[in-house]
Amino acid sequence: MVKHTLTVLVENKAGVAARVTGLFTRRGFNIDSINAAITDKPDISRLTIVITSEKEGGERQLEQITKQLNKLIDVIKISDITAYDSIERELVLIKVDATPEQRTEILQIVEIFRARIVDLAAGSMIIEVTGAEDKIAAILTMLADFGIKEVARTGKVAMIRGAKTL
Amino acid sequence: MTGSEAILKGLEVEGVEVVFGYPGGAVLPLYDAIYDSNLRHVLVRHEQGAAHAADGYARVTGRVGVCIATSGPGATNLVTGIANAYMDSIPVVAITGQVPTTAIGNDAFQEINITGITLPITKHSYLIKQAEEIPHVIREAFYIASTGRKGPVLIDLPKDVQVEAFDLDERDFTRPVKLRGYKPTVKGHALQIKKAATLIEGAKKPVIYAGGGVIASGASKELIELAELIGAPVTTTLMGIGAFPINHLLSLGMVGMHGTKYANYAICDADLILAVGVRFDDRVATDPSQFAKDAKVIHIDIDPAEIGKVIIPDVPIVGDAKNILRALIDRLIDSRFDYSEWFNVVRGWKEAYPLRYNPEDGLKPQYIIEKINELAPDAIITTEVGQNQMWAAQYFKYSEPRTFITSGGLGTMGYGLPAAIGAKVGAPDRTVIDISGDGSFMMKCQEIATAVEGNIPIKVMILNNQYLGMVRQWQELFYDRRYSFTDIHSRTDFVKLAEAFGAVGMRVTKLKEVVPALKRAFEIDEVVVIDFRIEREENVYPMVQAGAPLDEIIEPKTVPENVFPTCEKEALEVE
């Protein structure tokens, strides 16, 4: 089982995400996360797709998908950056049950993970945390004991370290 | 100028002379504009026919075929035709009407998300939201359809955009297309070409395996030149038929599931495969693990996604076949090649294992094709799908590209008749013959009306065995002769049916009637349908079972065979 991170620059046009994801669904791949937003150039969007190849021959299929993605007219550039040393981040909002007695304990966890409390109500709070996958997983585990009511994740974004660009 | 007028202007600028279509509510404004234009419009009787006719036209002329349908059911009826063009990389532009932009997404009458439906079967698609987009969309659509690995492009055109007036800058129709995400590689990589040349020089038993890409690229001349220069035998795929003249000394005919025995043996025995414009599909690389297992493989293709998809080549070269073959010729022109030993082995197989059938035993489809070949050697042949297709591929002697028009990838029954209409429109001076089966004929027989009313005198030869013959053949061989729903013995009278449409119908039941009927068919300038009542259970041979290696060949027992002494391979006998 190998996790792959693909970064894709696409034309900022209607239907592009459907064209891209269609190539995965056709081959029965499940997308772990997908993030899409415009870049500094308003006519270009950047997608970050995280995919797990678990089937036999999955690696070869993924290579085929990458090649097919490259063929899409609206895809400008695609890289599988899995093998590169890269910065990977995800932003997560977590709404947890928090009675007044539990707040201090949660606050400690939040500090340790360098997260932030962005909303506080009588019985709950929303925590914003940014980080790589293992950090997100760790804080979610810690907060699970208090009762997680809701989670919203942006999906991973990533960028290769150093001067190299897409 | 209105959107509709802009569409027609765009088609004119692109050099479109004919469109195949069917009107409807959502294309009323477009058809209103067509009414006043010089554009030739062929009215089909079902939109699928329009897509296939555009596809057939494109295959014969090498130009982009255009079809038009209305929204909703009109658009969905195009889908099979678009998929067919996609699978065989045929340049087609499909224009569909759409409900007004204000109604899109509201489940309006005859609304369907056709760009969504065709997403996986188009090279690209557009939903036009404003008339001012039309010039660059038309330009891009034709450019995308006809460059790189060719394919269908769909333009979805809402009804309000068709009537929208806008200020047209005519220069927009001729501006160079700039697509930063689309830059097909045309020229082969010099280093790879050098490596390929070295492999060719070092080979002892080379085989050229050529496909539809050679025809798409217009590289037949280069293919022949290279084959003659190095003296390597050439086999083609179904899609590559015509790319290399069948009567050429170096020709091995078709390879694969129903390929010639000698082509399949040559592939199995080769030490070098020069694959040009092919995709190692499962009808050829029936068992990829065994395919040319002792051979080095050079794979030339314009589509980088085909490289390594089935077979991992030793030398991949991405680019246009014509350019790359020319570069190879230039590089090899001063080299000396002597493959005479290999050539003799291959020639031995060719002599020992010709395509064969027993002509004595009733009215045989192979005999009919041979007679068609004798009487109309320069004809363009279209086919349906199944046994008729394979016999047409095996027994007609194709000597030039774009003369064998067949649904290869999708395998669409009903393709041949509308494709013949498109072919005849594209090549009005050629005899165009649809080799059909009784099953396939029924799938699109309404298009006989299109041919009759449009004065498009095609000739339809129904090889009528009253079976869905190819499926029956598989049932005979692999399903214990349990002919589940393939016996379509029916009272449908194809002669009367042809006559009902205003065509000339004939029936042939005996061997001696074949030639006179064909002669008459080719003499008269009318649409002709001949119902040949062939031997019901004639099979297509040779045959390689799906998934089996290419040298495990099933052959008929009923026809004698001279066994060539140097060949150790045993044919598996059945029947």
B6-20, B355-369, B554-568: least confident range: B554-568
Of A15, A73, A75, the CB nearest to B115: A15
Collect all residues of chain B within an 8 Å Cβ-Cβ radius of residue A67.
Answer: 304-305
CA distance B446 to B444: 5
- Residue B455 clears pLDDT 70, i.e. is over it: yes
User: What's the pLDDT at B570?
Assistant: 42
Q: In whole angstroms, what separates CA B423 from the centre of its chain?
A: 12
Say whether B98 is catalytic. no
Of A18, A22, A75, the CB nearest to B181: A75
User: What's the pLDDT at B565?
Assistant: 35
CA distance B48 to B74: 9
Residues A108-127 have a mean pLDDT of 95
CA distance A10 to B84: 28
Q: How high is the mean pLDDT of chain A?
A: 93
Collect all residues of chain A within an 8 Å Cβ-Cβ radius of residue B127.
Answer: 14-15
DSSP string for B230-288: HT--EEE-TTTTTSS-TTSTTEEEE-STTS-HHHHHHHHH-SEEEEES----TTTSSST
Structure confidence by residue, pLDDT tens digits, A76-89: 999 999 989 999 99
CA distance B79 to A13: 24
User: What's the pLDDT at B341?
Assistant: 93
- Residue A56 clears pLDDT 80, i.e. is over it: no
Residues B4-16 have a mean pLDDT of 97
CA distance A111 to B20: 69
Backbone angle region of B308, left / alpha / beta, with phi > 0 → left and psi within -120 to 50 → alpha: left
- Residue A54 clears pLDDT 80, i.e. is over it: no
User: What's the pLDDT at B559?
Assistant: 55
- Nearest CA to B386 out of B540, B564, B181 is that of B540
The CA dihedral of B465, B468, B470, B476, to the nearest 10 degrees, is -90
User: What's the pLDDT at B27?
Assistant: 98
Angle between helices B416-426 and B47-61 (to 10 degrees): 50
What is the CB neighbour count within 10 angstroms for residue B335? 11
Residues B323-334 have a mean pLDDT of 97
- pTM assigned to the model: 0.94
Collect all residues of chain B within an 8 Å Cβ-Cβ radius of residue A72.
Answer: 124, 181
- Residue A156 clears pLDDT 70, i.e. is over it: yes
Instruction: Please identify which of the residues B254, B442, B470, B506 carries the catalytic annotation.
Output: B470
SS3 call for A153: strand
CA distance B367 to B561: 19
- Residue B563 clears pLDDT 50, i.e. is over it: no
- In chain B, where the domains are located: 3-173, 190-352, 365-533
Which residues, in sequence order, are bridge partners of residue B126?
B155
User: What's the pLDDT at B573?
Assistant: 42
Q: Residue type for B273, please?
A: I
**Phi (first) and psi of residue A34, to 5 degrees:** -140, 130
Largest Cα–Cα separation, chain B: 77
Hey, what are B542's tokens?
Answer: 């040779």
Structure confidence by residue, pLDDT tens digits, B223-277: 999 999 999 999 999 999 999 999 999 999 999 999 999 999 999 999 999 999 9
User: What's the pLDDT at A57?
Assistant: 74
Sheet holding B315-318, edge to edge: B251-254, B234-236, B206-210, B272-276, B296-301, B315-318
User: What's the pLDDT at B569?
Assistant: 40
The residue of chain A with its CA nearest to that of B180 is A76
- Nearest CA to B4 out of B172, B170, B173, B158 is that of B158
- Residue B358 clears pLDDT 50, i.e. is over it: yes
How many residues can be counted in chain A?
166
The domain made up of B365-533 is a member of CATH 3.40.50.970: yes
Say whether B110 is catalytic. yes
Residues A28-48 have a mean pLDDT of 94
Please check whether residue B292 touches A, CB under 8 A: no
Say whether B280 is catalytic. no
Residue B159 · residue B29 · CB < 8 Å? yes
- Residue A30 clears pLDDT 90, i.e. is over it: no
User: What's the pLDDT at B558?
Assistant: 58
| Gap from B120 CA to chain A (nearest CA, Å) | 7
Residues A60-72 have a mean pLDDT of 91
User: What's the pLDDT at B566?
Assistant: 35
User: What's the pLDDT at B291?
Assistant: 92
DSSP string for B27-77: GHHHHHHHHTS--EEEE-SSHHHHHHHHHHHHHHHSS-EEEEE-STHHHHH
Query: Is the N-terminal amide bond of A100 cis, ω within 30° of 0?
Result: no
- Residue B208 clears pLDDT 70, i.e. is over it: yes
- Residue B332 clears pLDDT 70, i.e. is over it: yes
Hey, what are B266's tokens?
Answer: 């040559």
Strand-pair category, B543-544 with B40-43: unpaired
Residues A128-145 have a mean pLDDT of 95
How many residues can be counted in chain B?
575
| Gap from A36 CA to chain B (nearest CA, Å) | 18
Residues B434-462 have a mean pLDDT of 98
A residues 50-69 closer than 8 Å to B (CB): 63-64, 67-68
Q: Residue type for B13, please?
A: V
- Nearest CA to B340 out of B412, B233, B242 is that of B233
The residue of chain B with its CA nearest to that of A67 is B305
Where b means 16+ CB within 10 Å and e means fewer, A24-49 reads: beeeebeeebbbbeeeeeeeebbbbb
Yes or no, beta carbons of A73 and B115 under 8 Å apart:
no
> Residues 6 or more apart from B141 whose CB is under 8 A from it?
B93, B124, B126, B153, B155
Q: In whole angstroms, what separates CA B467 from the centre of its chain?
A: 24
Instruction: Please state which CATH class domain B3-173 belongs to.
Output: alpha beta
- Residue B369 clears pLDDT 90, i.e. is over it: yes
Please check whether residue B136 touches A, CB under 8 A: no
Structure confidence by residue, pLDDT tens digits, B467-512: 999 999 999 999 999 999 999 998 999 999 999 999 999 999 999 9
Please check whether residue A27 touches B, CB under 8 A: no
User: What's the pLDDT at B134?
Assistant: 97
Residue B280 · residue A46 · CB < 8 Å? no
What is the CB neighbour count within 10 angstroms for residue B100? 15
CA distance B527 to B471: 29
Residues A127-154 have a mean pLDDT of 95
Structure confidence by residue, pLDDT tens digits, B46-74: 999 999 999 999 999 999 999 999 999 99
Instruction: Please identify which of the residues B159, B205, B261, B364 carries the catalytic annotation.
Output: B159
Domain B190-352 architecture = 3-Layer(aba) Sandwich (3.40)
- Residue B562 clears pLDDT 70, i.e. is over it: no
User: What's the pLDDT at B460?
Assistant: 98
- Residue B185 clears pLDDT 50, i.e. is over it: yes
- Residue B324 clears pLDDT 90, i.e. is over it: yes
Hey, what are A105's tokens?
Answer: 């304990």
Hey, what are B302's tokens?
Answer: 């314009």
Please check whether residue B115 touches A, CB under 8 A: yes
Task: Tell me if B3-173 shares its fold with B365-533.
Answer: yes
SS3 call for B297: strand
Q: How high is the mean pLDDT of chain B?
A: 95
- Nearest CA to B7 out of B122, B133, B176, B112 is that of B133
